[in-house]
Structure 1
Amino acid sequence: MSANNATPSSVTVPTVKRRLISMIYEILLAFAVLFLPFLVFEIASKASHTPVAEHMRQALFFLILGAYFIHAWTKKGQTLAMQTWRIKLVVPGQHHVPLYVAAVRYLLSWLWIVPALLVSFALKLEHWHALYALLAGALLWSLTAFIDKDRQFLHDRLAGTRLIQLPKPEKKKKAA
């Protein structure tokens, strides 16, 4: 039985701790994904800091990460960090994550930081205070897993997706 067609009780849900550690690894990998596009952009824009260039950087950030996550989720159900931590994104009853579901999940995943960004903007927080607001927002969002009966984050519940824990791969026996 494939993980996508398994009943909710027959699959293991990764712990919140495991998912958060995977997300930290994901952040590090995002820097690698963003490096080349941003290098090209900085060369093309001559490192301009005009308001238009700043908005273009933000759009590039959003689009490149969106392409990375949506592509990974629709092809394998896993990003590189998710593969490392044996976590897979599934849509119950489907073999693959549909493109529109992956796109909705990507947009909803921004709820981890958008409320904190809005608070930071409204309170005119800067530097460390803004960072603390982002960390507090992410911490509060991670707590949404504890109010869900299946321990799924709110954005997964809203998108109709689930994160499941894959079993450890079998160790290969050495030839005699």
Structure 2
Amino acid sequence: MTAPVSLAAPSLRRRMASWLYEAFLLFAIGLIAALVFSVAVDMRNAMDARRWLLQGFLVLVFAVYFSYLWSKGQTLPMKTWRIAIVDRHGRRPTQGRALLRYVYCSMWFAAPLAAYAAGRFNLRELAVVAAGWVAFWALLSRFHPQRQFWHDAWAGTRLVDAG
């Protein structure tokens, strides 16, 4: 990866396009990881009591994926949209900082998961809650002095143009 040209934040449109591409990629990674887990523990039903283990396994797989690739500077969707991740000093983040960013990124899913846990919403309503929350969380970056996502500010990272 070449050094970022500027420490300016990429446009919100590019960041969200990368985010959407990442979601499709994570779906594939999660599908493969779930298949491996299901075969390894002989889990034949999604409502199996071990589904909590599967969910924990997927969180771990995604944590490894993100902390490794972010510490290298980019994921594939970030490369596609010419976005890099750096720390406050413009260097690639450490794996620890990347893992911290992964934890803070859970804010993207906090409201939808809380709505799901409440058990009072149907699938369509949950989709509206999720879409509204993602839009709200993305637009909050407009209130950050450098137009960064707030989870980046908290984790000591920033998204920059990769050039």
State whether TM-score is above 0.5: yes
CA contact (8 A) 2:116 2:126 kept: yes
CA contact (8 A) 1:13 1:151 kept: yes
1:155 alignment partner in structure 2:
151
2:117 alignment partner in structure 1:
121
Identical counterparts, % of pairs? 30
Consecutive unaligned residues of structure 1, counting only runs of 5 or more, are 168-176
Letter in 2 for 1:158: W
1:65 alignment partner in structure 2:
62
1:173 alignment partner in structure 2:
none
4+ runs deviating over 6 angstroms: none
Letter in 1 for 2:84: K
1:131 alignment partner in structure 2:
127
Consecutive unaligned residues of structure 2, counting only runs of 5 or more, are none
Listed as ranges, the matches of 1:17-36 within 5 Å are 17-36=13-32
2:141 is equivalent to residue 145 of structure 1: yes
Q: Deviations over 1:83-132 (max 9, x none)?
A: 11110000022632112211110000010111232134336212111121
* Pair 1:32–1:51, CA change in 2 (3 A): closer
TM-score normalized with structure 2 length: 0.89
Listed as ranges, the matches of 1:1-176 within 5 Å are 2-3=3-4, 10-44=6-40, 45-50=42-47, 52-74=49-71, 76-93=72-89, 95-122=91-118, 124-167=120-163
Q: Distance in 1 between matches of 2:76 and 2:18?
A: 10
Larger Rg: 1
Q: Distance in 1 between matches of 2:146 and 2:98?
A: 20
Q: Distance in 1 between matches of 2:131 and 2:50?
A: 27
The Cα of 1:142 is off from its aligned counterpart by: 0.5
Aligned pairs, number: 161
Q: Distance in 1 between matches of 2:3 and 2:144?
A: 24
Q: CA RMSD in A?
A: 2.0
The Cα of 1:73 is off from its aligned counterpart by: 0.7
Q: Distance in 1 between matches of 2:137 and 2:146?
A: 16
Q: Distance in 1 between matches of 2:28 and 2:117?
A: 28
CA contact (8 A) 1:120 1:133 kept: no
Q: Distance in 2 between matches of 1:148 and 1:125?
A: 32
Q: Which has the higher contact order (CA 8 A, sep 6+)?
A: 2
Q: Distance in 1 between matches of 2:75 and 2:136?
A: 24
1:170 alignment partner in structure 2:
none
